[in-house]
Structure 1
């Protein structure tokens, strides 16, 4: 059973709902701290799901065996249950899931926030292995990512900027969970995303202080979709949790309004 945080309702000004898809090790909570209420108050119906095995969503198989295709099915299930196809908003690995979803599903628009690029996570994984070779070895041997993410200096490095308040970093660290190693490996597939099959207009955003997805990768994603990369200074990977989250939400809101959504 998939759990969804669902607030607000569609309005004449914003007739299309929004569906938020979280990243690796996160859950719907990452959107609920700020974004869901922000968009609900702006007259949108805003929903965020816990992908199977995450947060309060159950899974018919162990999380370690879940695949990117499983996550795409989760997005499709929630999307298909809405009266109108939603704008899909994906963060990090969730952005990769959104791109996979768009290969075979229509959407009025999509937003990619600090998303894995269409080519996948190989470059990001190699950078992390060079920074922390022993942690990479342990993660490979055990299939567990949390030991390399939950110590606060590592949480900050992976998800936040150097200036993010300690309490924000600690709150995120306490809520992180394991991710499916099978899904993470799939993001390193040489096939990547077939961008030619994606027709939805896409807003691409990233943080200049992102310890995972580089600014060059954000630009490459934008180039792949023939659009502009919107980069935010002093912003880490978890753009929706950073103190400057409102500027990100306002950029999304403005872009949607410009498209009549």
Structure 2
């Protein structure tokens, strides 16, 4: 695809507003991509509005989110590149497996069906949701302290608190319950077509200090693709936590994504 660049759709995960992708949008547009940052169904346009109306996103599950983004993709003139963080990374993988994307980058992606490791740090990160079974149908907010453990453990406390104040919103509990039960359900919405050999290339990115999606989860995800001959690669940022897409080191991760897209022939010749 020399000389052209497919559109890029950024998919946020739980607890971060879609506008948190703004610096990435600016960088990727400078590189020649049209970019979109649609929120999950029910997410309000601003952080403030999303915090004021948590019920609007409550009880939204994985399938709801996949169908929402599939509709966005259907309006585009060509298949996009999908870049998802956390649960957004799971959504990106599902859509790639459905042949709806030219390529996908899943950053610290939530566990898909078949991934067995569940480290203690991941359990602690999601405890605010699992502490109450009724949260399956509710939207749940994190405290600044909970955010620091789940997202900001690899940055200074002051930076973590600033990220919390700027970007966090309530998140539906349902996707977490669905992912947790995935290996006990033959028709789990967390199931991804990892055997699809005709799909576009996939890059998995992991943060070596991530508490929410520890490296064991991402490495186990990579193994799920072992029966596919399609391109599947892994990049690790050893000193980064779950906030790697929004903290002060975001540019290093974004540059790695652009470089990888270039290797796949998905960057224009004039890209920065």
TM class by smaller structure:
0.7 to 0.9
Which SS does the other structure have where 1:195 is aligned? coil
Q: Is it true that 1:13 corresponds to 2:8 in the alignment?
A: no
Task: Specify the alignment match of 1:204 in structure 2.
Answer: 204
Deviation at 1:160, TM superposition (A): 2.1
* Residues 53-202 of structure 1 mapped to structure 2, 5 A cutoff: 53-56=42-45, 62-119=56-113, 123-124=117-118, 127-129=121-123, 135=128, 138-142=131-135, 143-146=138-141, 149-151=142-144, 153-164=145-156, 166-188=158-180, 189-190=182-183, 191=188, 192-197=191-196, 199-202=199-202
- Provide the aligned C-alpha RMSD in A: 2.9
* Residues 28-67 of structure 1 mapped to structure 2, 5 A cutoff: 28-32=18-22, 34-56=23-45, 62-67=56-61
Deviation at 1:92, TM superposition (A): 0.5
Deviation at 1:193, TM superposition (A): 2.4
CA 1:62/1:120 → structure 2, altered by over 3 Å: closer, same or farther? farther
Deviation at 1:105, TM superposition (A): 3.4
* Residues 242-257 of structure 1 mapped to structure 2, 5 A cutoff: 242-257=247-262
Deviation at 1:145, TM superposition (A): 2.9
What residue ranges of structure 1 are gaps of 5+ in the alignment? 1-10
Task: Specify the alignment match of 1:233 in structure 2.
Answer: 238
Structure 1 residues 49-75: Cα deviation after superposition (integer angstroms, max 9, x where no partner): 11111232999x952222211111111
Which SS does the other structure have where 2:110 is aligned? coil
Q: 1:235–1:242: 8 Å Cα contact kept in structure 2?
A: no
Q: Which sits farther off after the overlay, 92-101 or 183-192?
A: 183-192
Structure 1 residues 3-37: Cα deviation after superposition (integer angstroms, max 9, x where no partner): xxxxxxxx9734211111000122211211x2111
What residue ranges of structure 2 are gaps of 5+ in the alignment? 227-231, 267-272
Q: 1:21–1:95: 8 Å Cα contact kept in structure 2?
A: yes
Aligned length: 245
Task: Specify the alignment match of 2:12 in structure 1.
Answer: 22
Q: 2:125–2:150: 8 Å Cα contact kept in structure 1?
A: no
Which SS does the other structure have where 1:83 is aligned? coil
Task: Specify the alignment match of 1:6 in structure 2.
Answer: none
Q: Which sits farther off after the overlay, 121-130 or 204-213?
A: 121-130
User: Given the two structures, how large is their TM-score scaled by the length of structure 2?
Assistant: 0.78
**How far apart, CA to CA, are the structure 1 residues paired with 2:118 and 2:170?**
18
Deviation at 1:40, TM superposition (A): 1.0
Structure 1 residues 93-129: Cα deviation after superposition (integer angstroms, max 9, x where no partner): 1111122223323321110000013237875486444
Which SS does the other structure have where 1:35 is aligned? helix
**How far apart, CA to CA, are the structure 2 residues paired with 1:140 and 1:250?**
40
Which of 1 and 2 has higher RCO (CA within 8 Å, sep 6+)?
Answer: 2
Structure 1 residues 148-198: Cα deviation after superposition (integer angstroms, max 9, x where no partner): x222x3212111233346135323345322222222222222243231246
